[in-house]
Chain A
Amino acid sequence: MPKPFNKLTAIAAPIMRSNIDTDVVIRIERLVGNSVRGTLGKWAFGSLRYLPDGSENPEFILNREPYRQAEILVTGPNFGCGSSREGAVWSLQELGIRAIIGSGFGDIFFANCFQNGILPIVVDKDIVDGLAAEVEHTQGAGRIGIDLEAQTITSPSGKQVRFEIDPRRRAGLLEGLDEILMTLRRDDEIRAFQAADRAERPWIHFAGKQA
Chain B
Amino acid sequence: MLLEKRGRTLLAKIWDQHVIAHISDDTDLLHVDRHLLHDLGGSRGLIDLKGRNLPVHNPELTFATPDHAISTAHGRVGTIKIGQELLAALRVETTASGIQMFDIDEPGQGIVHVIGPELGLSLPGCLIVCGDSHTCTHGGLGALAFGIGSSELTHVLATQALIQRRPKTMCVKFEGKLSSGVTAKDLILALIGHVGAAGGTGYAVEYAGSAIRDMPIEGRLTICNLSIELGAKMGLIAPDEKTYDYIRGRRYAPRGEMWRQAVEAWRQLPSEADAVFDREVVIDVEAITPQVTWGTSPEHVVGVDGRIPDPQAIADPARRAAIETALDYMGLKPGAPIAGTPIDWVFIGSCTNSRLSDLRAAAEIARGRKVAPGVRAWVVPGSETVKREAVAEGLDKLFIDAGFEWREPGCSMCLAANGETVAPGQRSVSTSNRNFIGRQGPRARTHLASPAMAVAAAIAGAIADVRTMER
Q: Verify that A and B bind, or say they do not.
A: yes
Interface residues on A, range: 35 or more
> Between A and B, how many residue pairs show CB distances below 8 Å?
194
| In the complex, A150 has a CB within 8 A of chain B | no
- Identify the closest chain A residue to B257 (Cβ): A211
| In the complex, A14 has a CB within 8 A of chain B | no
- Identify the closest chain B residue to A78 (Cβ): B198
- B40 touching A31, Cβ below 8 Å: yes
Nearest Cβ distance between residue A37 and chain B, in whole angstroms? 10
Q: How far is the CA of A206 from the CA of B231 in the complex (A)?
A: 34
- A108 touching B233, Cβ below 8 Å: yes
- A211 touching B86, Cβ below 8 Å: no
Nearest Cβ distance between residue B121 and chain A, in whole angstroms? 6
Q: A104-B201, A184-B158, A211-B258 are in contact. Are A23 and B231 (CB under 8 A)?
A: no
| In the complex, B133 has a CB within 8 A of chain A | yes
- Identify the closest chain A residue to B21 (Cβ): A189
Complex contacts, A107 vs chain B, CB 8 Å: 167, 201-202, 231-233
Nearest Cβ distance between residue B231 and chain A, in whole angstroms? 6
- B254 touching A203, Cβ below 8 Å: yes
| In the complex, B465 has a CB within 8 A of chain A | no
Nearest Cβ distance between residue B171 and chain A, in whole angstroms? 18
| In the complex, B12 has a CB within 8 A of chain A | no
Counting chain A CB atoms within 10 Å of each CB, which of B24, B231, B261 scores highest? B231
- A203 touching B258, Cβ below 8 Å: yes
| In the complex, A124 has a CB within 8 A of chain B | no
Complex contacts, B438 vs chain A, CB 8 Å: 23-24, 27, 47
Contact of B322 among A17, A83, A105 (CB under 8 A): A17
| In the complex, A94 has a CB within 8 A of chain B | no
A107-162 contacts to B, CB under 8 A, are 107-108, 111-112, 115-116
Contact of A29 among B133, B154, B417, B437 (CB under 8 A): B417
Nearest Cβ distance between residue B152 and chain A, in whole angstroms? 7
Chain B positions within 8 Å of A, measured between CB atoms, are 20-21, 23-24, 27, 29, 31, 33, 40, 43-44, 47, 52, 54, 57-58, 60-61, 69, 80, 82-83, 85-86, 89, 120-121, 123, 125-126, 131-133, 147-152, 154-155, 158-161, 163, 165, 167, 197-198, 201-202, 228, 231-233, 251-259, 261-262, 265, 297, 299, 318, 321-322, 325, 415-417, 419, 424, 434, 436-439, 442-443
Chain A positions within 8 Å of B, measured between CB atoms, are 16-19, 21, 23-24, 27-29, 31-34, 47, 52, 76-78, 81-87, 89, 104-108, 111-112, 115-116, 166-168, 179-180, 183-184, 186-187, 189-190, 193-194, 197, 201-208, 210-211
